[in-house]
Structure 1
Amino acid sequence: MQIYKVGGAVRDRLLGLPVTDVDWVVVGATTEEMLARGYRPVGADFPVFLHPKTGEEYALARTERKSGRGYGGFTFHASPDVTLEEDLVRRDLTINAIAEDDQHNLTDPYHGQRDLEERILRHVSPAFAEDPLRVLRVARFAARYAGLGFTVAAETLELMRQLSESGELEALTAERSWKEISRALMEDQPQVFIQVLRDCGALNVLMPEVEALFGVPQPEAHHPEIDTGLHTLSVLEQSALHKQPLTVRWACLLHDLGKGLTPEEEWPRHIAHEHTGLKLIKAVNERFKAPKDCQELALLVGQYHTHGHRALELKASTLLELLQSFDVYRRPQRFEEFIVACEMDARGRKGLEQRSYPQADYLRGAANVARGVAVQPLLEKGFKGPELGEALKRERLKALKAYREAR
């Protein structure tokens, strides 16, 4: 029985990066031996165990064979006679197929160290093309390590393209896809994730609504980058540079989907794109079963982001309607996330990344003014039920008019 550290822990140590999760592979052992040593089984499809003290995952060395469609369409074989090299060859990338023993000796049969030095994301074997989830994984690694200069090998990108054209991506479950997408959006350069998916044809399969934005022009006066797709990538890049949460990054990715529906004869203007895009945002939300907070913010940002940009010009009544739409009284955080999504949209324009965005503080101030209107005086005047709601609305409108005039 031999135990090796594998995967990300070895890769990141060699890159000089912090190591968070540690995975282990066990060669020459049986399930019975693992149980006898106190390991707790957790794998439903193949033998994976939790260490009795550390809780880290230990998997028996295994081989796999394609037996159906999608990520789960594999038959696994784990036994004491499976070698370390046989276990490593089934992994996705060479940089993830390096093993390390307890003496820090490396086993690297597929030249992962060379690819780490050359900053290349390269598949281990042709079996890479059997698992459609690997398209998303490689794009996610590209987003994670882009800052270190990593790129996807041409031959790997070609396999990803073949996978994208094969129909296999459609076999991925919403849950598995969302797990990869959400992790990728939280990487340092999530725009690289989208670009790599586009380069291999996967974006058109997974999110045709986003793919449709590329090549669609916008007015150069407001968008020096002109291309709506490039603008979307820039907005996503800004959201990562400013350390925004997943909800904001998801909204940034989807905020302009309506522009993909604008008839060519109306280019570069996109009248009412905020409303035409809502059905597309809803479709993407449902396709990946995005969490409720991500779904809600994406729809609200899609519908109201131009209100955010024009905040200083809005009438007090329109401003109040905006605040009411976000329920700023009970859900202040959601409105704050809307504001920063609008700011990322404003900054995601070529040459305007450092621009100021006074609308942000103006909107925060308006929300505070509306929230500051007291209910108790109205109750003391005898208002109740629907009448109380209308009276409260009138007082908030009056306060917002005063706030607007004071600015």
Structure 2
Amino acid sequence: MQVYLVGGAVRDKLLNRQIKDKDWVVVGASEADMLAKGYQQVGKDFPVFLHPTTQQEYALARTERKVGQGYTGFECDTSTSVTLEQDLMRRDLTVNAMAMDDAGNIIDPFDGQGDLNKRILRHVSAAFVEDPLRVLRVARFAARYSSYGFTIADETKVLMRDISQSGELANLSAERVWVETAKSLLEDTPQVYFETLRECTALKVWFAELDCLWGIPNPAKWHPEIDTGIHTMMVLEQSVRISNKLSVRFAALVHDLGKGLTDPTLWPSHKGHEKLGIAPINTLCERLKVPNDCRNLAILMSEYHSYVHHAFKLKASTINDFLDNCDVWRKPERFADLLLACTADARGRTGFEDSPYPNADYIWQAYLLAKEVNVQEIVQAGYKGAEIKQQLRQKRIHAIAANVA
């Protein structure tokens, strides 16, 4: 029985990158051997065990044979005769197909270290095409390691395109697609994930509402970058600079989906795209099973981002109604996130990347002033029922008006 550190932990150790999780592969052992040593079995599709003290994952060395569709259509062999090299051969990328023994020696049968040095993400073998999930995984790795200078090997891009055009991506589960997407959104360069998927024609399979934005023009006066798809990626890039929250970055990603529904005869104008965007956001979120916090902020962002962009032109009564519609009184943190997403939108334009955005502070100040209105004073003044709500609105508008003036 031999145990090796494998995969991402070895890759990141060689890159001097912080190691978050350690995965181990066990060669020459059976399920009975592992259970006898006190390991707890947790794997469903193949044997994975938790170490009795560290709780780290240990998997029996295995080979895989494609027998069905999708990423689950594999038959695994975890017999004690499976070698370390056979186990490493089934992995996706050469940089993920390295192992380290307890003496610190690197076992690298597919030259992962060479590709690390060249900053190349390259598939291990032709078996790469058997698992459609790898298209998303490689796009995620591209997003994670873009800042290190990594690019995807041309021959790997060809295989990713082949998978995308085979129809196999449709066999993935929504949960798996969202997991890869959410992880990518939390990377330092999440735009690379979506750009990579688009390049290999995979984006339109799961993100059709986003994919169609490329080629749709915006008015050059407000959007020097013109193209809505390019603008969207710029907004996502800006969101990384101002927030590490998944919901903010997702809202940045989908804020302009309504422009995909604008009548082309009206281009580059997109009047009404804010409300038009709600339906495609809901459709996308249903398809991917997106968490409610992400969906809800995204819908607010779509419907109301123009209010924030035009903040200084709004009447006090309009600002108050906007605050009401966003339910800021009960959910101020979500409203603050909306303003962050709007800031990313304003800066996600060519030449505006480092521009100040006083609109967000202005709207937040209006909220703080309106929040100071004491409803108990209204009740104590003798107002009842609907009168209380009416008086509260009037006093809040008056408080906001002081800021507007």
TM bracket, shorter-chain basis: over 0.9
Partners of 1:198 and 1:167 in 2: how far apart? 15
**Quick one: which amino acid aligns to residue 52 of structure 1?**
P
Q: Which residue of 2 aligns with 1:230?
A: 230
Runs of 4 or more above 4 Å deviation: none
Partners of 2:97 and 2:387 in 1: how far apart? 68
**Quick one: which amino acid aligns to residue 357 of structure 1?**
Y
Q: Which residue of 1 aligns with 2:303?
A: 303
Partners of 1:384 and 1:118 in 2: how far apart? 73
**Quick one: which amino acid aligns to residue 183 of structure 2?**
R
Report if the CA contact (8 A) 2:242-2:340 is conserved.
no
Report if the CA contact (8 A) 2:133-2:172 is conserved.
yes
Report if the CA contact (8 A) 1:161-1:202 is conserved.
yes
Within 5 Å, give how 1:226-265 maps onto structure 2.
226-265=226-265
Partners of 2:102 and 2:303 in 1: how far apart? 56
SS in 2 for 1:260: helix
- Per the TM alignment, residue 205 of structure 1 is displaced from its structure 2 partner at its CA by 1.1
- Per the TM alignment, residue 370 of structure 1 is displaced from its structure 2 partner at its CA by 1.6
- Per the TM alignment, residue 168 of structure 1 is displaced from its structure 2 partner at its CA by 1.1
Q: Which residue of 2 aligns with 1:44?
A: 44
Within 5 Å, give how 1:28-43 maps onto structure 2.
28-43=28-43
- Per the TM alignment, residue 326 of structure 1 is displaced from its structure 2 partner at its CA by 1.3
Q: Which residue of 2 aligns with 1:97?
A: 97
Higher mean alpha-carbon deviation, 139-148 vs 261-270, is at 261-270
The answer to whether residue 124 in structure 2 is matched with residue 124 in structure 1 is yes
SS in 1 for 2:76: strand
Partners of 2:9 and 2:384 in 1: how far apart? 62
SS in 2 for 1:197: helix
Q: Which residue of 2 aligns with 1:176?
A: 176
Partners of 2:352 and 2:16 in 1: how far apart? 34
Structure 2 regions of 5+ residues with no counterpart? none
The answer to whether residue 30 in structure 2 is matched with residue 15 in structure 1 is no
The answer to whether residue 328 in structure 2 is matched with residue 328 in structure 1 is yes
- Per the TM alignment, residue 404 of structure 1 is displaced from its structure 2 partner at its CA by 1.1
Q: Which residue of 2 aligns with 1:187?
A: 187
Q: Which residue of 2 aligns with 1:154?
A: 154
Task: Output the TM-score relative to the length of structure 2.
Answer: 0.98
Higher mean alpha-carbon deviation, 378-387 vs 193-202, is at 378-387
SS in 1 for 2:222: coil
Q: Which residue of 2 aligns with 1:203?
A: 203
Task: Output the TM-score relative to the length of structure 1.
Answer: 0.98
Identical amino acids, percent of aligned pairs: 55
Q: Which residue of 2 aligns with 1:212?
A: 212
Q: Which residue of 2 aligns with 1:109?
A: 109
Within 5 Å, give how 1:345-364 maps onto structure 2.
345-364=345-364
Q: Which residue of 2 aligns with 1:167?
A: 167
Which deviations, in whole Å up to 9, do the C-alpha atoms of 1:141-160 show, x marking residues without a partner? 00000011100111111111
- Per the TM alignment, residue 167 of structure 1 is displaced from its structure 2 partner at its CA by 1.2
Which deviations, in whole Å up to 9, do the C-alpha atoms of 1:92-136 show, x marking residues without a partner? 111000000001111111111111011111111111111111111
Report if the CA contact (8 A) 1:185-1:246 is conserved.
yes
Which deviations, in whole Å up to 9, do the C-alpha atoms of 1:23-69 show, x marking residues without a partner? 00000001111111111111111110001111100000011111222
Q: Which residue of 2 aligns with 1:2?
A: 2
- Per the TM alignment, residue 169 of structure 1 is displaced from its structure 2 partner at its CA by 1.0
Partners of 2:29 and 2:370 in 1: how far apart? 66
Report if the CA contact (8 A) 1:29-1:80 is conserved.
yes
Structure 1 regions of 5+ residues with no counterpart? none
Report if the CA contact (8 A) 2:3-2:27 is conserved.
yes
- Per the TM alignment, residue 401 of structure 1 is displaced from its structure 2 partner at its CA by 1.7
**Quick one: which amino acid aligns to residue 261 of structure 1?**
L
**Quick one: which amino acid aligns to residue 39 of structure 1?**
Y
Number of aligned residue pairs: 405
**Quick one: which amino acid aligns to residue 168 of structure 2?**
E
Which deviations, in whole Å up to 9, do the C-alpha atoms of 1:244-300 show, x marking residues without a partner? 311010001100111112222211111111111111111111111111100000011
Report if the CA contact (8 A) 1:328-1:371 is conserved.
no
Q: Which residue of 2 aligns with 1:71?
A: 71
